[in-house]
Amino acid sequence: MPTAASETLAALDQLPPFPPVALRMLDALTREEVETQELVQLASADPVLASEILHAANSALFGLPRRVKALQHAIVLVGRNYLRPLLFTAALRAYLKAPGRSRVFQDWWRHSLAGALLADGLAAACRKSRGEAYTAGLLHDIGRLALMMAVGADQYRAVAARRAPASVLEREQEQFGIDHCQVGKLLLEKWELPRELAEASAQHHDSFRGERTLASLIRLACSLAAALGFATEKSNPSPNFEDWRAALPEGLEWAQRLEPEPLRKTLEERINAYSQI
Ligand SMILES: [Fe+2]
Ligand SMILES: [Fe+2]
């Protein structure tokens, strides 16, 4: 039975809130020149988050001989590359505890990290802000997770796996009265994150038009992540890399030269390292 949009929205409202400090830190990290002191100040307002950062700095990943006790030292040590996935995971703390997350959640988490890493690389190739692209990549599919949690993972997956209508957004609209791009936009606006991030989430399933906006870069990163095997929904066939390359609009010659295997291997290694923190 299809659900009315108002009912889905009411269920979305019941979801646990995202920790504001983790979101503010992700927002601050979209700026290349963000000062460590600003991050320390923000993190200090959330003792659980601060202890998670300290824990990460003292993890085997960094192999330090002595314990790190100061938050400032921990933030410098963990560095931007690990801090962002750490904050992302911390922001999802309440969702991590939700029943039925397991496999579905893992696929979504890996897709989001792959999207962030690819967005970062694509931004460097297009000379756009890498910090903004990374955070936009991390959060672009947040609407899918929220929708999944609001309606129930099993019900969501059953809809995602249907064959008709052809697009996942149409299937979501038909069943839940709203699609995950709209949900993502609503959430990012509610959390008062930059407008560009909300727009990128709203438009990440639009067809390529070749324009050089953050939204089109995220669209590219999301579809590339899926084509490299990091899809959010395994039951839903994703285009393979060759199909992805063939669908690229003109003006992206550099993307035509990407090699799928080394790229997939690098993503796999980075994401596996992130899962250790
Ligand atoms: Fe999506
Ligand atoms: Fe995506």
pLDDT digits (tens, 9 = 90+) for 113-140: 999 999 999 888 888 888 899 999 999 9
Ligand nearest the Cα of residue 145 is 1
Distance 191 CA to ligand 1 centre (A): 19
User: What is d(CA 35, CA 48) in angstroms, rounded to the nearest whole number?
Assistant: 21
Q: Tell me: pLDDT of 6 over 80.
A: yes
Q: Is the pLDDT of residue 109 over 80?
A: yes
**What pLDDT is recorded for position 50?**
93
For residue 224, the model assigns a pLDDT of 93
pLDDT over 70 percentage in the chain: 95
Instruction: Give 219's pLDDT tier (boundaries 50, 70, 90).
Output: very high
What own/partner pairs with CB < 8 Å and gap ≥ 24 does 118-126 have?
Answer: 118/220, 118/221, 118/224, 118/225, 118/267, 119/217, 119/218, 119/221, 122/217, 122/220, 122/221, 122/224, 122/255, 123/217, 125/254, 125/255, 126/212, 126/217
Domains of the chain and CATH, by start? 5-17+99-274 (1.10.3210.10), 19-91 (no CATH)
Q: Give the pTM.
A: 0.90
Q: What is the chain's percent helix, strand, coil content, to nearest 5?
A: 65, 0, 35
What pLDDT does residue 1 have?
A: 75
Higher-confidence position of 170 and 239: 170
Element spanning 52, H or E: helix 47-57
Using the predicted structure, report yes or no on whether residue 35 has a pLDDT greater than 90.
Answer: yes
Question: What's the 108 CA to ligand 2 centre distance in angstroms?
Answer: 8
Which ligand minimizes its atom distance to the CA of 183?
Answer: 1
User: Does residue 100 surpass a pLDDT of 60?
Assistant: no
Q: How far is the CA of 79 from the centre of ligand 1 (A)?
A: 28
Would you place residue 105 in the very low, low, confident or very high pLDDT band (cuts 50, 70, 90)? confident
